[in-house]
Amino acid sequence: MTTFPPVDEQMSILMRGVDFGDDLTRTNMEKELRARLEKASATGKPLRVYCGFDPTSSDLHLGHTVPLRKLRQFQELGHEVVFLIGTFTGTIGDPSDKESARQQQTLDAAMENARTFTEQAFQVLDRQKTLVEYNHKWLGELSFGDVIDLASNFTVQQFLTRDNFSKRHAKGDPIWLHEFFYALMQGYDAVALNTDVQIGGTDQLFNLMAGRKLMEAKGTEPQVVLTFPILVGTDGTLRMSKSTGNSIGIHEAPGVIFTKVLSLADHTFRNFAELVTRWSQTKIDEMLAEIEAGRLNPQEAKAQLAWEIVSIFHGDEAANQAAEDARRMFEGDIPSDAPEHAIAGAIGLLDLMNEAGLTRSNSEARRLIQQGGVRLNGETVEDAGEEIAHTAGKDQVLQVGKRRYLRIVSA
RNA sequence: GGGCGGGUGCCCGAGUGGACAAUGGGAUCUGACUGUAAAUCAGACGGCUUUCGCCUACGGUGGUUCGAAUCCGCCCCCGCCCA
């Protein structure tokens, strides 16, 4: 028999950040969640909570960590968490986040991605308290008759009302039949797992609700659903996603994460602070107020944000190092993790830049020089034909733009 | 089964015989400015050489033409509509 913190306390933690885009839904879900928590306290039986992730990429990015953080909170309160990997759903492609159909993938590819994916998830989740599941285990077992049975709970109109489907329909773009089944499959996950609560992004509301509907049809009490705002990507507008190329992967090097966060647009601060940090709402509100009042430099705020995020995934030490490197770079100093390149004799600047991977072609290197973006030992280079002398035992520093450095070591 | 439309540079998307390495937007990069690497403004953005020039590129292939991303044949792929 497990004991839980007081229901009010649990509610305040669990409802933080929840966003349905609809007050009525919020009120209902809040009521249902409270009832479930009370029941759990009375019976000593923890709630079963889950969130599904499609293994479409081998790496998790900050966007994935939003629901993971919420699962973690449930774990800390003593509830049971299922980390569900959409090995089956992932092969179909979720239409939720796209206005066009997503690429399908094979089960093998999905399983391969799932491996690294899960490992990374444990940077947020408590490994000991997490049950990992794969939905191909039950979805792959359904017969055609079973599928028809599930489908009979929905109408085509319900699907066509969905924003992303109606837009595509209006534009005359294709809507594949199998995309409709995505919601059914995800809904069936809830039935198969017999869950109490499901977490997801606001874009998942339709799919989560499908789960409720199917559970009702099967005679089980429908799950509570909690949805959270979408994290924007580095472009500041679009949803963070690896395929859009605007993501910050949690596996990326501390220095990379740090500089990516530092160069986010100022207006994304709230979104990131509320969704991916461990900070309290009070702290976030205070920071925003300070920025508003002009007492806190937005860049300083972003530096703290960057430190916090690096610290979550790589620890305090890595965060300190990344912050120090960023500061040095900003002041025009070479960072500690600058790559080195050894030269054996004198070498043409263009060749050196290409060899060291700073540029991909002579044209690109020339262009940078023409634009005044290349410095050698602090001096702006003006002649693209310049040669780098071989100075035995003495390092030289090549800088391209504000962020790229190369330490030239003479062999 | 029938009718129609489409495949262009990292992405989106103009361009229907020469003025096209190819308009525009996004992304990216550089510079200026700024208490930020944000915002804003300016520039760059296939490759080789940088002076002229040359090479590669608009699904594939074969043609027509002095000359094609643009016209024609065949092939591959994709979408919409009607049945």
Both A173 and A79 in one domain: the answer is yes
Alpha helices by DSSP H, A194-253 = 205-217
Both A98 and A209 in one domain: the answer is yes
Residue A286 pLDDT exceeds 50: yes
Give tens-digit pLDDT for A305-334: 999 999 999 999 999 999 999 999 888 888
What CATH number is given to the structural domain containing A299? 1.10.240.10
Q: How far is the CA of A133 from the C1' of B58 (A)?
A: 47
In this complex, the answer to whether residue A300 has its CB under 7 A from any atom of chain B, a nucleic strand, is yes
Both A176 and A267 in one domain: the answer is no
Task: Find out whether A407 and A339 touch, Cβ atoms under 8 Å.
Answer: yes
Q: Evaluate the CA torsion angle A312, A318, A320, A325 in order and state its sign.
A: negative
What is the pLDDT at residue A332? 83
Q: Determine, yes or no, domain membership for A247.
A: no
Q: Which amino acid is at A85?
A: I
Both A205 and A276 in one domain: the answer is no
In this complex, the answer to whether residue A294 has its CB under 7 A from any atom of chain B, a nucleic strand, is yes
Owner of token pair 């009010």: A8
In this complex, the answer to whether residue A256 has its CB under 7 A from any atom of chain B, a nucleic strand, is no
Distance CA A245, CA A251 (A): 15
Q: Which domain holds residue A362?
A: 340-410
Residue A180 pLDDT exceeds 60: yes
Residue A278 pLDDT exceeds 80: yes
Beta bridge partners of A388: A347
Q: How confident is the model at residue A101 (pLDDT cuts 50, 70, 90)?
A: very low
Residue A85 pLDDT exceeds 70: yes
Residue A154 pLDDT exceeds 50: yes
Give tens-digit pLDDT for A334-375: 888 889 999 988 899 999 999 999 999 999 999 999 999 999
Q: Determine, yes or no, domain membership for A2.
A: no
Q: How far is the CA of A264 from the C1' of B37 (A)?
A: 9
* pTM beyond 0.80: yes
| Displacement of CA A316 from its chain's centroid (Å) | 20
Both A201 and A70 in one domain: the answer is yes
Residue A95 pLDDT exceeds 70: no
Q: Which of A281, A304, A330 is the last residue of a domain?
A: A330
Nucleotide nearest A300, CA–C1', reads B36
Q: How far is the CA of A100 from the C1' of B16 (A)?
A: 29
Residue A228 pLDDT exceeds 50: yes
Q: Determine, yes or no, domain membership for A43.
A: yes
In this complex, the answer to whether residue A72 has its CB under 7 A from any atom of chain B, a nucleic strand, is no
Using the 8-state DSSP alphabet, how is residue A407 labeled?
A: E
Q: How many domains in chain A? A: 3
In this complex, the answer to whether residue A402 has its CB under 7 A from any atom of chain B, a nucleic strand, is yes
Both A311 and A212 in one domain: the answer is no
Using the 8-state DSSP alphabet, how is residue A291 labeled?
A: H
Q: Which amino acid is at A179?
A: E
Give me the percent of chain A exceeding a pLDDT of 90: 67
Q: How far is the CA of A384 from the C1' of B19 (A)?
A: 32
Range among A48-62, A106-120, A189-203 with highest mean pLDDT value: A189-203
Both A283 and A368 in one domain: the answer is no
Q: Which amino acid is at A277?
A: T
Both A154 and A201 in one domain: the answer is yes
Nucleotide nearest A296, CA–C1', reads B35
Q: How far, CA to CA in Å, does A136 sit from each of A70, A133, A140, A166?
A: 25, 9, 5, 29
Q: Evaluate the CA torsion angle A194, A199, A204, A209 in order and state its sign.
A: positive
Low-confidence winner among A208-222, A238-252, A253-267 (lowest mean pLDDT): A238-252
